[in-house]
């Protein structure tokens, strides 16, 4: 691998280290703050389980982050991660448990603005919604857990020494679960911007297990998180554990478990597929803020007890950091991209082309976008999604959904199904019918991603989305993930 690539990945590792120093501390902050668990024990358990969570379950939240803005040049990914890392590090130096999720989202939007790429408002709205819901949900779960724990302890009549021992053990177990959930959910913040430009290739460790390029990225990022926990997290642990509200050991356990449940809910692909197959509403896979979840749990307990012990001035300081973080990260990223491109002559985004050809128009019509609405634009080409959006906004009355369809269908994305790339494809994620259909396309080239989708669908119904019913959501979700993997694998470098 080129040394330059490793250097550019360094900003992601710095961001991982910053997350470990800030967000990852939340899984043991209350335990360390109440002196029930030593910092050394907390750091070891947190480091091990955050790595396991990232490698095993980290892919779900990364997909949503990728929809917000797909950074397509490694220098651009470097600057987005660096801007987020510098923002988080600065807040950490102030002792504030800020949101790494907000920092990386702000940095991605900064890249979108610089490259004139359209920010997916649907993905952004989903992320903003979870930012509001996660602390409230954590607070509600904390209240229910506290009531249940209180009821159990009142009937158990445990000796004080035994209760102390059980509490320490429970805090370590809850911290391990929290660290796993944190790795699964927040690794998207650390390495998600590098997924579209990953320099790694899949390789098989055994016949049954392949370590994908994305998992290799997540492994590196999670190791950086673990280092952040060991080297710089103690100060923020004490902020969460002591300064916001005095915590008893039982309260500390409740806070950690409530926070961990919230992170797990928004990261588990298995849970999402299970709910979809049962015809139930699914929980969006979004990288939520560990800090917001743990503080929401603390505030929930504080309000349960009347709110008298909550230090509201500390909460105001933390809230201010949350508001400032995305704007600061976006500004740093935009300015950094300018210098990286114009001073250091680095390619921070790849030129894209969008064409409203007659073929694209037919494709859009099949998806409910009437040609009469944009007939005068057919035949035009654009150098960015922002330019296409501006033209559609000025000359048509298309809805937001129709505009998103137009941008998606008009994007030129050359693909080639080569024997070499087929040999390195992770076929374990595909069923037999899907594998056969893909192999039959060896040697074919496509200008648009949807042309490959149509070719696969014509060869096998296993590549065809099913009608939008609750029972089909799990199948369609997996199909979307598998096709996105194929596009990354077979895309011709621009």
Cα 333 from Cα 322, distance rounded (Å)? 17
* pLDDT tens digits in sequence order for the chain, 494 residues long: 567 777 888 899 988 988 888 776 677 876 777 778 888 898 899 999 999 999 888 876 777 777 888 888 899 999 999 999 898 888 767 766 677 888 999 999 999 999 999 998 888 888 888 888 999 999 999 999 999 999 999 888 888 888 888 988 998 999 999 999 989 988 988 888 888 877 787 776 666 667 778 888 899 999 999 998 888 877 666 665 555 566 778 888 898 899 899 999 988 877 877 777 777 777 888 888 887 888 888 889 888 877 666 666 666 777 777 788 899 999 999 999 999 999 999 999 988 899 999 999 999 998 889 888 888 899 999 999 999 999 999 988 888 889 999 999 999 999 999 998 898 787 888 999 999 999 999 999 999 999 999 999 999 999 999 887 666 777 888 898 889 889 988 998 76
From residue 478, alpha-carbon distances to 69, 251, 359 in Å are 21, 39, 27
Residue 446: the pLDDT is: 96
Residue 96 near residue 239 (C-beta atoms within 8 A) = yes
- What does the DSSP 8-state code read for residue 155? H
The HSE-up count of residue 79 (CA atoms within 13 Å, CB side) is 29
Cα 397 from Cα 425, distance rounded (Å)? 42
Q: In this structure, what token pair is assigned to residue 77?
A: 């990914």
Question: What DSSP string runs through 24-52?
Answer: TTHHHHHHHHTTSS-HHHHHHHHHHHHHH
What residues contact 138, with CB distance under 8 A and at least 6 apart?
A: 258, 259, 261, 262, 292, 293, 294, 296, 297, 300
Report CA Rg, the chain.
Answer: 24
| Residues β-bridged to residue 415 | 446, 491
Residue 243: the pLDDT is: 55
The separation between the first and the last C-alpha atoms of the chain, rounded to the nearest angstrom, is: 19
């Amino acid at each position: 691998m080129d040394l330059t690539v490793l250097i550019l990945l360094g900003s992601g590792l710095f961001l991982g280290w910053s997350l470990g120093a800030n967000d990852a501390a939340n899984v043991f902050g209350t335990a360390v703050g109440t002196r029930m668990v030593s910092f050394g024990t907390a750091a070891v358990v947190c480091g091990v389980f955050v790595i396991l969570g990232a490698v095993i379950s980290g892919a779900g939240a990364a997909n949503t982050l990728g929809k917000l803005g797909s950074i397509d040049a490694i220098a651009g990914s470097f600057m987005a991660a660096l801007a987020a890392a510098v923002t988080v590090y600065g807040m950490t130096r102030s002792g504030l448990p800020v949101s790494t999720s907000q920092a990386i989202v702000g940095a991605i939007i900064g890249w979108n603005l610089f490259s004139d790429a359209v920010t997916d408002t649907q993905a952004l709205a989903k992320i903003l919604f979870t930012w509001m819901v996660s602390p409230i949900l954590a607070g509600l779960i904390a209240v229910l857990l506290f009531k249940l724990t209180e009821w159990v302890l009142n009937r158990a009549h445990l000796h004080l020494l035994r209760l102390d021992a059980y509490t320490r053990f429970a805090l370590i177990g809850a911290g391990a679960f929290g660290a796993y959930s944190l790795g699964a959910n927040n690794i998207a913040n650390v390495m998600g911007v590098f997924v579209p430009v990953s320099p790694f290739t899949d390789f098989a460790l055994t016949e049954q297990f392949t370590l994908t390029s994305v998992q290799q990225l997540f492994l590196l990022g999670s190791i950086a998180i673990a280092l952040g926990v060991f080297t710089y997290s103690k100060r923020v642990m004490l902020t969460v554990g002591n300064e916001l509200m005095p915590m008893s050991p039982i309260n500390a356990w409740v806070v950690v478990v409530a926070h961990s449940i919230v992170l797990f809910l928004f990261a588990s692909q298995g849970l999402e597929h299970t709910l979809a197959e049962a015809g139930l509403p699914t929980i969006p896979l979004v990288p939520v803020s560990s800090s917001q979840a743990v503080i929401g749990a603390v505030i929930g307990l504080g309000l349960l007890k009347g709110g008298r012990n909550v230090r509201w001035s500390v909460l105001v300081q933390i809230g201010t950091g949350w508001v400032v973080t995305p704007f600061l990260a976006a500004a740093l990223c935009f300015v950094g991209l300018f210098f990286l491109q114009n001073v250091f002559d680095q390619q921070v985004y790849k030129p894209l082309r969008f064409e409203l050809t007659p073929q694209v128009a037919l494709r859009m019509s099949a998806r409910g976008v009437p040609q009469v609405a944009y007939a005068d634009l057919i035949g035009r080409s654009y150098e960015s999604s922002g330019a296409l959006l501006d033209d559609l906004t000025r000359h048509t009355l298309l809805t937001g959904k129709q505009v998103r369809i137009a941008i998606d269908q008009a994007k030129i994305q050359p693909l080639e199904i080569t024997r070499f790339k087929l040999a390195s494809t992770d076929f374990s994620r595909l069923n037999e019918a899907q594998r056969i259909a893909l192999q039959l396309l060896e040697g074919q080239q496509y200008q648009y991603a949807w042309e490959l989708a149509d070719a696969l669908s014509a060869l096998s119904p296993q590549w065809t989305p099913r009608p939008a019913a609750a029972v089909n959501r799990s199948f369609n979700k997996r199909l979307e993930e598998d096709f996105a993997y194929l596009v990354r694998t077979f895309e011709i470098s621009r």
